[in-house]
């Protein structure tokens, strides 16, 4: 038999799984989102550094399968440099496309990335409004 | 150590023995007749099948080679044992099954199918290492019980079951006993007469025979009705032209398995012990599922849960290092459910997610095992670095299930809080 390399996922997914980009936690993050997948019970955390309404840095940590790790790696790559408004419209389909596709049963892993990102933005906005409120109270 | 290729999934399937392959080859192009034919081409093959039947009967000490029915595999053999037995006997005997909660899916799903056709089932629980209590089986048997179904070795966590004691109870109660020996055959001596089973199934590709052939033993007292209808092959219990080359190969694999069993068991048990000791010395927050290596566990596998990380990632990174394993994590299963065996032993969801199964074979070496002992801790470290749980554990937000510190909530609780749904 010819010796071919067989891997469970395509090359792009395998690359992001084996060499994840942006793995870790943003120091003194402006927003942190941690979400769980109802389907399989896995967990993803995304932390953001936000400057002038733009995502300056994004990092992830994931307890989950290969495609969850690859999805979080890809999602953080994609959103860096985007404005908050753009990031709020971010969809898991973008991750799936950028990864060159995921098996149907693994689509929910990319949804986890979308949800973690949105949770991080919400966290940032919630903190902002308390900052504004306390500023208002102080004034 | 240089990258090696280490196959540690022998519980799923094994390579075909050279001797078995060589015995099979003539049956593709030279002795290609059908055993049902009356001419010399057929008669020659008939003789080959008779030999294979004897070899396979010897492996389990069946009373007679005629007690064996060849099927397409272990799954068909379980289906035949359950549905074929029910079809043949339910009118006289009853419509109730007793089954262990940790049976192979081919057993559980066959019974589930029967419950849609007027049958009832009582599932017998297992303890935290997967053991069935014979007294629980006794308590589950009713006047309507048709068949008790228990496995000899658990396919997932390696527990060896007290089948002989269960056999005695079934004899006392005059109930038939079916034993799934899929994970046992070739790795544990089997004597159907001593076990007191009426039906027993196994699959030769688990002990270096080919795929595409399964065996159902049924003694004189156990009648089964064919599920596959057609000609009168296998004495009318399984229609269809026999998979001759596979049966021939299975016979040779069985003969060699029987002859070499003491050496195989000694070798593989030593590897199992080496792997167990090495991994537990080098990895913290690691748990063995099922009994410790020894008389209560099959010699060829370890079922492990590594805390704070998920199983598919471990499987993929091991594969990337050349090591092939299996996993019972929900992320690995097509149904996104953790292994039902791990649920049945009440393993915490987080630990079930971190599950992998390493199963050894007769061709593995000490070097293979040492390679795994070197690589696996690196992989665990890499995945823990990536896992939010690990840091949250270090910070005291969540606690370890394996070695609780008393700080923080359980991972399972944490996961349920985050997903808004209890983990299964
Ligand atoms: S995160 Fe569990 S299946 Fe992908």
CB-closest option in A23, A36, A40 to B330: A40
**Residue A109 has which token pair?**
């892993």
pLDDT tens column, B210-265: 999 999 999 988 999 999 999 989 988 999 999 999 999 999 999 999 999 999 99
Residue recorded with tokens 């070739």: B186
Q: Which two tokens stand for residue B288?
A: 């063995």
3-state DSSP call for residue B294?
A: coil
Task: Please name the residues in contact with B394: beta carbons below 8 A apart, sequence gap of 6 or more.
Answer: none
Residue-wise pLDDT for A31-76, tens only, equals 999 998 877 778 999 999 999 999 999 999 999 999 999 999 999 9
Average pLDDT over all residues of chain B: 95
For B386-422, the pLDDT digits (tens) are: 999 999 999 999 999 999 999 988 877 787 777 765 5
The neighbour count for residue A19, using CB atoms within 10 Å, is 10
Task: Spell out the residues 6+ positions from residue B173 whose beta carbon is closer than 8 angstroms to its own.
Answer: B138, B141, B145
Count of helix runs (H) and strand runs (E) in chain A: 5, 3
Tokens 């966290």 appear where?
A123
Dist. CA A31–CA A34, nearest whole Å: 10
What is d(CA B378, CA B393) in angstroms, rounded to the nearest whole number? 19
Q: Which of B112, B195, B126, B123 is nearest to B157 (CA)?
A: B126
Quote the CA–CA distance of A44 and A35 in Å, as a whole number.
Answer: 6
A vs B, Cβ pairs < 8 A, gives 82
Q: State pLDDT tens for residues B185-223.
A: 999 999 999 999 999 999 999 999 999 999 999 998 899
Q: Report the CATH number of the A11-131 domain.
A: 3.90.1010.10
Residues whose beta carbon lies within 6 Å of some atom of ligand 1: A 37, 40, 42, 64-65, 67-68, 106, 109; B 331
Joined together, the tokens standing for residue B195 give 């076990």
Distance CA B49, CA B59 (A): 16
> What's the full length of chain B, in residues?
424
* pLDDT > 60? residue B181: yes
Closest residue by Cα to atom 3, ligand 1, is B331
Q: What is the rounded CA–CA span in Å between residue B331 and residue B198? A: 38
Q: Which atom of ligand 1 is nearest to the CA of A41?
A: 2
Binning pLDDT at 50, 70 and 90, where does residue A129 land?
confident
Structure tokens at A32: 């942190």
Minimal Cβ distance to A23: which of B308, B310, B386: B386
CA B380/CA B196 separation, integer angstroms: 44
Catalytic residue flag (residue A109): yes
Domain boundaries, chain A: 11-131
CA dihedral B59, B65, B71, B72 (to 10 degrees): 50
pLDDT at B422: 54
B75 touches chain A (CB under 8 A): no
Q: Which domains does chain B have, with CATH numbers?
A: 6-10+261-419 (3.90.1150.10), 18-257 (3.40.640.10)
Check residue B127 and give its pLDDT: 98
Question: Is the complex ipTM higher than 0.90?
Answer: yes
Q: Model's pTM, two decimal places?
A: 0.95
């Amino acid at each position: 038999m010819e010796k071919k390399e067989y891997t469970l996922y395509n090359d792009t997914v395998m690359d992001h799984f084996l060499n994840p980009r942006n793995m870790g936690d943003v120091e003194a993050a402006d927003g942190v989102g941690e979400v769980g997948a109802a389907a399989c019970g896995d967990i993803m955390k995304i932390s953001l550094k936000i400057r002038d309404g733009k995502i300056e840095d994004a990092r992830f940590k994931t307890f989950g399968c290969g495609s969850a790790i690859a999805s979080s790696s890809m999602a953080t790559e994609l959103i860096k440099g985007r404005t908050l408004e753009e990031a709020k419209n971010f969809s898991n389909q973008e991750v799936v496309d950028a990864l060159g596709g995921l098996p149907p049963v693994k689509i929910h892993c990319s949804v986890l990335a979308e949800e973690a990102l949105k949770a991080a933005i919400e966290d940032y906005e919630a903190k902002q409004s308390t900052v504004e409120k306390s500023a208002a109270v102080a004034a | 150590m240089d990258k090696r290729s280490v196959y540690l999934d022998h519980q799923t399937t094994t390579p075909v023995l050279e001797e078995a392959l060589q015995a099979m080859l003539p049956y593709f192009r030279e002795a290609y007749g059908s055993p049902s034919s009356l001419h010399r081409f057929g008669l020659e093959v008939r003789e080959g099948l008779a030999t294979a039947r004897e070899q396979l009967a010897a492996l389990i000490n069946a009373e007679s080679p005629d007690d064996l029915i060849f099927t397409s595999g272990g799954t068909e053999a379980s289906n035949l044992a359950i549905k074929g037995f029910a079809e043949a006997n339910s009118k006289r005997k009853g419509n109730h099954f007793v089954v262990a909660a940790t049976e192979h899916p081919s057993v559980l799903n066959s019974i589930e199918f029967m419950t849609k056709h007027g049958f009832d089932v009582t599932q017998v629980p297992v303890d935290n290492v997967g053991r069935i209590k014979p007294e629980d089986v006794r308590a589950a048997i009713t006047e309507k019980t048709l068949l008790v179904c228990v496995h000899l070795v658990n396919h997932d966590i390696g527990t060896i079951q007290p089948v002989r004691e269960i056999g005695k109870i079934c004899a006392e109660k005059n109930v038939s006993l079916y034993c799934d020996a899929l994970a046992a055959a070739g790795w544990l001596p089997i004597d159907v007469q001593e076990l007191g089973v009426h039906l027993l199934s196994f699959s030769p590709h688990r002990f270096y025979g080919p795929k595409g052939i399964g065996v159902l033993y049924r003694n004189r007292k156990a009648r089964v009705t064919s599920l596959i209808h057609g000609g009168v092959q296998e004495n009318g219990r399984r229609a269809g032209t026999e998979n001759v080359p596979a049966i021939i190969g299975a016979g040779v694999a069985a003969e060699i398995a029987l002859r070499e069993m003491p050496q195989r068991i000694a070798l593989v048990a030593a590897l199992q012990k080496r792997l167990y000791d090495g991994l537990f010395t080098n990895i913290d927050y690691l748990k063995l599922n099922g009994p410790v290596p020894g008389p209560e566990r099959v010699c060829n596998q370890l079922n492990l849960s590594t805390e704070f990380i998920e199983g598919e990632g471990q499987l993929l990174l091991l594969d990337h290092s050349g090591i092939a394993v299996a996993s019972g994590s929900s992320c690995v299963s097509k149904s996104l459910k953790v292994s039902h065996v791990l649920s049945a032993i009440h393993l915490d969801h987080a630990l079930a997610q971190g599950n992998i199964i390493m199963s050894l074979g007769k061709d593995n070496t000490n070097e293979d095992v040492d390679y795994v002992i070197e690589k696996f801790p690196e992989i665990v470290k890499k995945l823990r670095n990536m896992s939010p749980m690990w840091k949250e554990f270090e910070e005291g937000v969540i606690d370890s299930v394996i070695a609780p510190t008393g700080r923080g909530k359980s991972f399972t609780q944490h996961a349920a809080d985050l997903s808004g749904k209890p983990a299964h």
